[in-house]
Structures are given as C-alpha cells and as structure tokens.
Structure 1
Amino acid sequence: MKRIWLSFVRGYIGLGMFFYFRRIHVNNIENVPKNKPVLVLSNHQNALLDALLIAIKCGRFSYFLTRAGVFNKPFVAKILKSLQMLPVYRIRDGWGNLANNNAIFATCSKLLNNNACIVIFPEGNHSLKRTVRPLSKGFTRIIMETFEENPALDLQLLPVGLNFKHADKFPDSTSIYFGKPIAANTYVSENKNESVIKLKTKIQSEIAELTTHIPKDNYDSDLNRLHSLDVDFLKPKAVNNCLNSGFEDCESKKPDSNFRFFKNVFKILLIIAFILPVLVWKYVAKPKIKEIEFLSTFRFAVVVTLAPLWLIVVFATITFTLGWQLAFGYFIASLCIALLAVKL
C-alpha cells in the first residue's frame, strides 16, 4: 500500500513538473546505483523543489532528511512522514531538540543497512547563490554510525548537482547532473576526524563540478560577468571552465526561440484560463513569502493544487449549464494553453 501511495504521489508531482518547467534535463541517470544503499548528496538552491526533482528523477523511492520546522503541525507532519521525510534538527530549532537527531541518524543507519536511498542536502541550508557552500558534518556522522553497525556495507555516496536557469521565475528550466558513485568505505578510517575532513572535501569538490561554483571572494562581479557573457547555467561544466580560464574560454547559450510574440499571447491566455489561481498566487500567497528561495516552491504548490481544482470546478459548471461537449473543449483548450505558455 505504501508503494502504491508513493507511486501515485511521484506520478502526480511529475505531471505537475511537466507543466511547471519549460525543460528538465537529466544527465547521467545511469550513475544511480539500483540495488545498493545510497546517500544522495546534493547542492541546495531552490527549497522543496530540489527534493521533489530528485524524488521524481533519480529512479528510486528515497528518504529525505528535512528541516524539523516543517513538521510542527501534526497533520502536515503525518503527510510528510508518509512521503518518507525525516525531521532533522538544527541549532535554530533549540539546543534541547538537537538530541532528537540521535534517533534520526540511527534510523538512517538502519535504512541504509536495508539498501535504502537517502537524500541529504549537506550544505545545511538553501540559497539561490550559484556557489557550493561549506558542508555540515551531519552526513559524515550517518556514514560513521552506519559503518560502526556494519563495516562490510557497500555504501555508495552519490553527488548531485542541481542547476536552474532562473530559479525564482516561471517558467524555468533545470538540469540535474548525477555524479559517479563513490564507495564510502574508501574514505573511512579509524581516525574519525581525518575521515570527516576527507569526506567533506571530496563531496564538496564533486558537487562543485556538477553545478556552477562561483568563489565567494569575487562573487558579485564574477556573476555579473557571466551574465554579460550570456552563459548557459544549465551547463555547469562549461560555466566553471569559463570561470577557471579567467573568462577567456566561455560559451554563450543558444538564443531563445523566435516565438516571443506567441509566448506573450499564450501567457495572457494562461492568466485568463486560470484567473482565480493566478489571483490567489499574486495577492494572497506571494506577499506572504519572506524568503526568495521559497518563491518557486509555493508557486509550484499553487500549480499542483489550485490549478487542477479550478479546472474541475469550471468543467463541472460548464457541464451542468452548457453541456459536457463544451466542458470537454474548455478542458482540452486550457491544457493546451498551459503547455504552450510554458514550453514555447
């Protein structure tokens, strides 16, 4: 029953992402181990959308370590736990709550010993900045405890790079790069401190190759230079090469399609077709968002909840007043408008 529920949710979210993103490029999916315990370690830019993208595209039913603050309401907590999300506590959640992580890390070790796949964002927080921030040591603790329980476990570490064209805008495009799996036991020794340093250094280096990594020293000026060169942020290897060459070896992205007029027309039609969800987003939901990193997450939530409800209500209304033929025509037309507005 649990697998059926997870398959339904994954299918529904995947459909929502099809209508939300212009393009989703998945690279090196063959690198994801199929029958081994895996820690997926990814950069973290776009709040919950990061987790959803990995959940939909990695090919495995994964568990996710999620900040404990979102589990505060019992009903929400029940839903999140049914989706295999595990709360992890940070200092901002109170020193007294940090001890709760002991049970969570023990659960992670148990899951990995059962060949599970666990997703962690080791930066510990999210930011739209195009850089890989210093990693926290939480994921190394899970690795150490897992090997203490089962030293012979073939635990794989899978670095992932998430890349967004314009993370706060709609529609956006994204690219996911799955790195080569790393055998965790090759970085673990009896010297725990040394092992932690090696693991953090290796994983940060691997993630930094799978997403754009602009060093913090000249971040703003380097980012502006990349924008002026019109690089393609969906191709991190090329962007990083541009940075490392001192902006000598840089590739400009291909120009957008020549359908700008039609894009604008279909965007207007999209607003008309989904007027109520658009108004709720613009005047109710969006003004309450305090962190820009959550902008796309809540916009996506409106897309997968209010938009379908609006379609159903209007479909039912037209059916009872004008007949099912017109209602069906409206339904198909609305989907076509949505697709053309997003995909052009």
Structure 2
Amino acid sequence: MKYIVNEFLRIIVKIALNIYYKKIYVEGKSNIPKGKAVLIVSNHQNALIDPLLLATHAGLKPYFLTRASVFGSPFVAKLLDFIQMFPIYRVRDGVKNMEKNQVTFDKSVNVLLKKGTMLIFGEGSHSTLRNLRSLKKGFSRIAFQALEKNDALDLVILPVAINYSNHNHSGTNVRISFGKVIDPKVYFPNHDALIKTTSASLAPLIVEIPEHSYHKDLQSLIDHKIDITSPQAVSGFLNQKTSIEQPSKKVKKPYLRNKLMKLFHLPIYWIWLWMSPKVKDIAFIATFKFVIGLVGLPVWYATVYFSLTAIGHQDWAITYLFLAILFLFTNKNGQA
C-alpha cells in the first residue's frame, strides 16, 4: 500500500512540476547508476522544490534527510516518514537534540545496505545565491558508516546540481545535472578527502556568481540574455564581461500572458496573496506557490465545471477551462 501511494504521488508531482516550470532540462542521465547503493549529494537552493525535482527526475526513488523542525506534530511526522523523509537536527534545534541524529544516520545506513538511495543536500542548508557553499560532513559519515558495516557494499556517491533561471516564479526553467559517480571506498576513512573530491565534482555543475559582485553580475547576465541555468554560459560570459558592451535594450518581462493566467485562476492567486506575507524565508516562496497550485488547481477546475454545468452552461465551463489551461501552460516568467 505504501509503495502504491508513493508511486501515485510521484507521478502526480512530476506532472505538476512539468506544468509549474516552462522547461526542466535533465543532463547526465547516463551517469545515474542502476543496481547499486546510491548516496545523492546535491546543492540546495529552493527548499522543498529541490527534493521533489530529484525524487521525480532521477529515477532512483530516494529517501531524504530534512530539517527536524518540520516534524513538529505526530501527524506530520508520520506523513513525512510515509513519504520517505528522515529528520536531521541542527545546532539551532538544541545541542541535546543533536544526539538524535545517530538514529537518522542508522536509518540512512540501512537504506544503503539494502541497495537503496539516500538524498542529502551536502551544504547543510539552503540559499538562493547561485554558488556552491562548503559541504558538511554528514554525507561522508553516512557513506563510511555503511562501509564499516559492509565493506563489500557496492556504494557510489552521485553528485547532482540544480540550477534555476528564477527561484520564485512559475513559467521558468530548471536544469538538473548528474555528474560522474564517486567511489567512497577509495577515500575511506578520510572524510576530508571525500568531501573535497565531492565538492570538486559538484563545482563545474553549479552556476557560480561571485558574491562580491553578485547582484551586479546577475543583472548583467539577465540583460545580455545569458542562460543562468547553464554553468558554462555563465562562466563564459563572466570571464569576458569586461570587454562586453551594455545591451542597447533592456530585457522585457512577460506581462500579458502572466496577467491572464492569474485572472483565470484568481481564487488561487488570492490564496497566495494571503499566504505570501507569512513566508519569511524567500527560499520557500516557490514551495508554497507549488503546493497551493497542486491542491488548488484541481479544486478550482472542478468547482468551475460543476457549478456552470449545474446551471445549464456546460459549454461555458468547457470554454473557461480551455482558456485557463491554455494560459497556465503558456505562462512564462523572466530570469531573476
């Protein structure tokens, strides 16, 4: 039963993600291993959207580590456990709680010992800044603990990068890049060496914009219509930007289609306007928008159809829904 529900949810979420985003590029799929224990190590820029993308586009059905604070109520804790999420405690959750991480590490190791897949965001926290931050020790601890229990385990580390053209808006692009696998046995038991190698494997897959001139460089990339989901395009531009003139025209932001999409989905848009002041962390903006749409769209479409049909205007209902879906699929937002 649990397997069937997870598969159903995976399909629904994948469809919804492909509606929410204009284009999801997946690169390096040939690097995804089969029949092995896999520890996915990824960057982390966009809260819940990151694990959802990897859960639906890696083909590996991973278990996840997620921050313990979201496991607050017993109901939520059971729900998250049902969809293969384990809590990870941070210092801000209290030093005493840090001891509970060993239980999570043990569960993670058991997943790997059964040749399953674990997903860890190696940086340890999320940030919408486009660069690779220092990797934490958590993933190497899990890898080495698994090898301590079974030194013959066919375990690999799969580096993955997610790059967004716009973290906060729908109708934008995402690029998922799978790197070449790393054999942790080669580095056992040297944590620093494994972390350094994994970081070096991730670096070329992630868009890197220097922090000291971040906002200026980002705006220049957008103005010159550089694909900011592409590490190669971004680094190529930034390396020669001193010799590039300013564009004669500013990039025009999409307007009409976006406004029409909101108009045809006005109740859902109102829910977001009501919720948005409560979102204190900008990395969660896309998460809230996605969840509101995932739940709200079917409800709104059903309400429109059955309400208009009940008063004898099924033709109006079909026309309205056709236009609503048309503007939803053609929705487009610029880079940011």
Query: Shared fold (TM-score greater than 0.5)?
Result: yes
Partner of 1:268: 259
Structure 1 pair 269–218 and aligned structure 2 pair: CA distance change class (3 A): closer
- How many corresponding residue pairs? 332
Deviation, 1:225, is 4.9
Partner of 2:203: 208
After the TM superposition, which residues 300-315 of structure 1 pair with which residues of structure 2 at under 5 Å, given as runs?
300-315=290-305
> What is the SS of the residue equivalent to 1:26?
strand
Structure 2 gaps of 5+ residues are: none
Partner of 1:198: 193
2:328 maps to a residue whose letter is A
Of 232, 237, 243 in structure 2, the residue corresponding to residue 237 of structure 1 is: 232
TM-score when scaled to structure 1? 0.89
Moved more, 88-97 or 168-177: 168-177
Partner of 1:62: 62
1:185 aligns with 2:185: yes
Q: Distance in 1 between matches of 2:112 and 2:62?
A: 11
Preserved contact between residue 19 and residue 342 of structure 1 (Cα < 8 Å): no
Residue identity (%): 34
Preserved contact between residue 209 and residue 240 of structure 1 (Cα < 8 Å): no
Partner of 1:8: 8
CA RMSD of aligned residues (A): 2.6
Q: Distance in 1 between matches of 2:233 and 2:193?
A: 27
Q: Distance in 2 between matches of 1:271 and 1:230?
A: 26
Deviation, 1:316, is 1.4
Structure 1 pair 228–337 and aligned structure 2 pair: CA distance change class (3 A): closer
Deviation, 1:301, is 1.1
Q: Distance in 2 between matches of 1:221 and 1:14?
A: 34
Partner of 2:77: 77
Q: Distance in 2 between matches of 1:70 and 1:333?
A: 38
> What is the SS of the residue equivalent to 2:64?
strand
2:284 maps to a residue whose letter is F
Preserved contact between residue 161 and residue 177 of structure 1 (Cα < 8 Å): yes
Preserved contact between residue 172 and residue 333 of structure 2 (Cα < 8 Å): no
Deviation, 1:246, is 5.6
Partner of 1:169: 169
1:38 aligns with 2:38: yes
Deviation, 1:322, is 1.9
1:340 aligns with 2:330: yes
> What is the SS of the residue equivalent to 1:35?
coil
Deviation, 1:343, is 9.0
2:141 maps to a residue whose letter is R
Preserved contact between residue 43 and residue 121 of structure 1 (Cα < 8 Å): yes
Structure 1 gaps of 5+ residues are: 190-194
Structure 1 pair 242–272 and aligned structure 2 pair: CA distance change class (3 A): closer
Structure 1 pair 222–266 and aligned structure 2 pair: CA distance change class (3 A): closer
Preserved contact between residue 37 and residue 115 of structure 2 (Cα < 8 Å): yes
> What is the SS of the residue equivalent to 1:182?
coil
Deviation, 1:306, is 1.4
Q: Distance in 2 between matches of 1:300 and 1:24?
A: 15
Q: Deviations over 1:117-172 (max 9, x none)?
A: 11100101100111111111011110111111001111110001100011123322
> What is the SS of the residue equivalent to 1:213?
coil
Preserved contact between residue 211 and residue 237 of structure 1 (Cα < 8 Å): no
2:256 maps to a residue whose letter is V
